[in-house]
Amino acid sequence: MAWLRWFLLPLEGLYRLVVALRNRSYDREPHRSHWAPLPVVSIGNLTTGGTGKTPLTLYLAQQLQAQGLRNVVISRGYRGHLSGPVNVESHHSAQDIGDEAVLMHHRLGPGRVIISAQRLTGIELAHQRDPQLDLVLLDDAFQHRAVHRDLDLLVVDGKNPFGNGHCLPVGPLREPVENARRAHLCVVTRSSGLRDQTLLKKWWSQCGSSGPQFFIDFAIHQLRGWNVPHVLKGEELQRSSGFVWSALGHPEAFETDLKRAGQRIVGSKHFRDHASLSPSGLIELANQATSLGASYLICTEKDAVKLSDVHRTASSFPIYIAEQTLTGGEPLVEWIHHHLKHL
């Protein structure tokens, strides 16, 4: 639909102007960025999702905690109806706080995630609740300049860094790529799919800061049954066929990871990012999967947190959750830990 893109170009120009004026205001008046009572690490991106930011945030929260740096994740609770600040607990649903916040709570445990549209109030709540915290991680906060950050980490998808190169509403960029200079470091995800890292290294040297650039990847290590008491891994993935459904920014990357793990895929269904699957939608997926000879459905952990007992009642067709690990992140954690010690 090239004609629509041409129609939207003037709106992109207006969007760029608004973003430029906003950033210039913060650059000229740095006091507008409020200082938090403890160190802040921001994790964000230039595009509208799909970079692997959430699994990276989870990885850093877990690894830094394991190294003795007590931390809490502050999320805006995207697509949830609560604005916060709210300490995430087990009774909160994706409708309350968004699917990403629920996923982070499931992975990190109690007392580790706060949702707050106003990040500073979320940080203050975290500090009041636990004065011994060493830092907070701001999820999806590269554009949230109202809070000063001690480390600004920019996440870039190695397979699809900047889409078509246009800003919203023509392309996926939230702001021009040259604004990467605000970041202290850059993390390139899905780096195993890169034939050559030279182009992204050159871009970072030209548009980024003088900080380091790290290359990491994701790998699916097993499928865990959601409504069946079984785990699939290794050769088991190659012996059975699965039907994939997801509501992600870049669903094709998820399918690529499954194939790399050895999973046979006979079909797939993509929904808009963060969308919820209705019970009737699950029945339709199960019927479609059966017609294609699939033995089970496969979804992400982010999709699974939106399933409920209603879905379990609607269909008994097996559903498996793809469990993902991050690889190559050790140098990144070491660098962040070293930097935080010298603040």
For the chain, list residues with pLDDT below 70.
1-6
Angle at 244 between CA 258 and CA 276, to 5 degrees: 125
Give pLDDT, residue 84: 80
Structure tokens, 320? 């498996």
Neighbours of 198 (CB within 10 A): 9
Are 328 and 191 in contact by the 8 Å Cβ rule? The answer is yes
Q: How does pLDDT run across 148-183, given as a tens digit for each residue? A: 999 999 999 998 899 889 999 999 999 999 999 999
Q: What is the DSSP string of 45-78?
A: ESBSS-SSHHHHHHHHHHHHHHTT--EEEEE--T
Q: What is the pTM of this model?
A: 0.93
Give pLDDT, residue 1: 54
Q: How does pLDDT run across 291-335, given as a tens digit for each residue? A: 999 999 999 999 999 999 999 999 999 999 999 999 999 999 999
Q: What is the DSSP string of 7-40?
A: HHHHHHHHHHHHHHHHHHHHHH-GGGSBPPSS-E
Give pLDDT, residue 196: 80
CA atoms within 13 A on the CB side of 245: 25
